[in-house]
Amino acid sequence: MKRKRMGSKILSVLLAAATVCSGVPVTGLAAETTDTSFKELLESMYTDPDREYQSDVRWWLAEASNTDEVLLQEIQNMYDAGFHGVELCMQADDNSPDDTYAYGSEMWSHKWKLMMNALLDHDMEVSLTSGTNWSTSNVPGLDPDSQAASQVIAMGSVIVEPGSSITELPKPETMRESNKGQFLGAYAYRVTGQEEESRKSNVPWVQPQEYTCYSVDYDSMVDLTAETTFTEGATIYDQAGEWTAPDDGQYLVVGLWTHGNYMTASPAAETCYATNYFDERGVEALRAFWEEHYLDDPELNEKIKEGDVQLFMDSLEINPEGGITWWTEDIRQEFIDRKGYDILPYIFLVDGLPQVYAVFNPYTEPAKGFYELEGNSSLREKIINDWVDVLTQMYCENMLVPLKEWLNSVGIKTRAQISYGRSFEITEPSAYVDYPEAENLNQYDNVDILRLHTAGAKLQDKLLSTETGASLSTYATSAQTRLPQIYAQYAAGFQRVIWHIWSTSYCYGEEPTWPGWGTSFDRWGDREADFRDMDEFNAHIGRVQTLMQTGTSRTDLAFIHNNWNQGVLSGGGIGDDITSMNYQLAHMGVYYRSTELQDNGYTYDYLSPDLLSAENVHFDEETGTIELAGYKAVILYQDWLDVDGAEKILEWAKQGLKVVILEGAAERTPFNDGQDERLAEIMEEMKSLDTVRTAEIYDASEDFDYFDEVAGGYDDGVLEALQELGVEPYAGYSEPNHQLLTQSRIDEDGNEYLYVYNYCPNDYHQNSHIESVKTEDHGTNIQTEIEMDGMFVPYMIDAWSGEVTELAEYRYEDGKTIFPIDLDYNNIALYAFEAVEEETEHIVSTDAESSYTAEDGSLYVRATESGDYTTELSNGETVTTTVEVPESYDITGWDLTVESWTPSDEVITSEETIDDVTTINTKAATDKTDINVQLDTLTTWDNIEEVGGNVSGFGHYEATFNWDASAADGAYLDFGDNFVSSMKVWINGQKVGGDISQNPTKAKATIAEGAEGADQYTGGINWMNPVADISDYLVDGENTIVIEYSSSMNNVALSQGIVQETENASNWWHNDTKYQSYGPSQAVIIPFAEEAV
Letter for the amino acid at 757?
Answer: Y
pLDDT of residue 13: 56
- Provide the pairing of β-strand 811-813 with 740-746: unpaired
Residue 321's Cβ-side half-sphere holds a number of Cα atoms within 13 Å equal to 14
CB 72 within 8 A of CB 119: no
For residue 103, give the DSSP letter. B
CA dist 495 and 480 (Å) reads 20
pLDDT of residue 328: 98
- Within 8 A by CB and 6+ apart from 205, the residues are none
Give the closest residue to 428 by CA, choosing from 706, 630, 663, 644: 644
CB 255 within 8 A of CB 371: no
Give the closest residue to 392 by CA, choosing from 384, 263, 403: 384
CA dist 1048 and 980 (Å) reads 8
Handedness of CA 831, 835, 839, 840 (dihedral sign): negative
pLDDT confidence tier of residue 200, bands split at 50, 70 and 90: confident
Evaluate the omega torsion of the peptide bond into residue 736 and state whether it is cis, within 30 degrees of 0. Answer: no
pLDDT of residue 12: 53
Residue 998 has pLDDT above 90, yes or no: yes
CA dist 197 and 427 (Å) reads 29
Give the closest residue to 169 by CA, choosing from 233, 119, 237: 237
pLDDT of residue 32: 38
pLDDT of residue 27: 28
pLDDT of residue 5: 38
CA dist 596 and 735 (Å) reads 11
Question: What secondary structure does DSSP assign to 519-582, as a single string?
Answer: -SS--BSTTSGGGGGHHHHHHHHHHHHHHHTSSEEE--EEEE---SS----TT--SS--TTSS-
pLDDT of residue 36: 57
Letter for the amino acid at 1082?
Answer: Q
How many residues are listed for the chain in this entry? Answer: 1093
Letter for the amino acid at 664?
Answer: G
Residue 71's Cβ-side half-sphere holds a number of Cα atoms within 13 Å equal to 27
CB 264 within 8 A of CB 138: yes
Q: What pLDDT, in 10s, does the model give residues 951-975?
A: 999 999 999 999 999 999 999 999 9
Domain boundaries, the chain: 8-45+781-880, 151-260, 583-767
Q: What pLDDT, in 10s, does the model give residues 860-873?
A: 999 999 999 999 99
CA dist 188 and 87 (Å) reads 50
Identify each DSSP E strand in 848-964 by its residue range: 850-853, 859-863, 867-873, 878-883, 889-890, 894-914, 917-935, 953-963
Report residue 671: phi and psi, to 5°. Answer: -115, 160
CA dist 723 and 713 (Å) reads 20
pLDDT of residue 621: 98
CA dist 765 and 776 (Å) reads 7
First-to-last C-alpha distance (Å) of the chain: 18
Q: How far is CA 380 from CA 188, 353, 422, 640, in A?
A: 17, 12, 18, 14
Give the closest residue to 122 by CA, choosing from 82, 87, 89, 64: 82
pLDDT of residue 24: 31
**With b meaning 16 or more CB within 10 Å and e meaning fewer, what string describes 186-214?**
bbbbbbbebeeeebbbbeeebeeeeeebb
CA dist 414 and 765 (Å) reads 41
Helices assigned H by DSSP within 470-533: 479-490
Q: How far is CA 602 from CA 557, 636, 659, 723, in A?
A: 7, 16, 15, 12
CB 903 within 8 A of CB 515: yes
Q: What pLDDT, in 10s, does the model give residues 511-528?
A: 999 999 999 999 999 999
Helix (H, G, I), strand (E, B), or coil: what is residue 849?
coil
Give the closest residue to 322 by CA, choosing from 152, 487, 78, 458: 152
Residues forming beta bridges with residue 260, ordered by sequence position = 151
Give the closest residue to 66 by CA, choosing from 509, 556, 421, 559: 509
Quick one: CA torsion of 374, 380, 382, 386, rounded to 10 degrees?
150
Q: What pLDDT, in 10s, does the model give residues 302-348?
A: 999 999 999 999 999 999 999 999 999 999 999 999 999 999 999 99
Burial class (CB in 10 A: 0-12, 13-18, 19+), 432: buried
CA dist 90 and 410 (Å) reads 23
CA 954 from chain centre, in angstroms, equals: 31
Helix (H, G, I), strand (E, B), or coil: what is residue 380?
helix
The whole-number average pLDDT for the span 238-246 is 98
pLDDT of residue 707: 95
Q: What pLDDT, in 10s, does the model give residues 2-54?
A: 333 344 555 555 555 444 433 333 223 333 344 558 999 999 999 999 999 99
Name the strand (E) or helix (H) holding 373: strand 371-373
SS3 content of the chain, % helix, strand, coil (to 5): 25, 30, 45
CA dist 467 and 129 (Å) reads 14
CB 959 within 8 A of CB 895: yes
pLDDT of residue 736: 99
The whole-number average pLDDT for the span 692-704 is 96
- Provide the pairing of β-strand 816-824 with 731-733: unpaired
**With b meaning 16 or more CB within 10 Å and e meaning fewer, what string describes 501-512?**
bbbbbbbbeeeb
Question: What secondary structure does DSSP assign to 1-48, as a single string?
Answer: -PPP---HHHHHHHHHHGGG--S----S-BPPPPP-HHHHHHHHHHSS
pLDDT of residue 97: 98
Helices assigned H by DSSP within 731-804: 771-774
CA dist 4 and 258 (Å) reads 73
Residue 1009's Cβ-side half-sphere holds a number of Cα atoms within 13 Å equal to 6
CA dist 1035 and 1091 (Å) reads 20
pLDDT of residue 207: 87
CA 41 from chain centre, in angstroms, equals: 29
What's the mean pLDDT when you consider all of the chain?
96
Residues forming beta bridges with residue 274, ordered by sequence position = 138
- Provide the pairing of β-strand 894-914 with 867-873: unpaired
CA dist 13 and 355 (Å) reads 48
Question: What secondary structure does DSSP assign to 573-639, as a single string?
Answer: -SS--TTSS-TTTTT--SSS---HHHHTT--EEEE-GGGGGSTT-EEETTTTEEETTTB-EEEE-SS
The percentage of the chain sitting over the pLDDT mark of 90, rounded to a whole number, equals: 94
pLDDT confidence tier of residue 61, bands split at 50, 70 and 90: very high
CA 1026 from chain centre, in angstroms, equals: 26
Handedness of CA 406, 409, 412, 415 (dihedral sign): positive
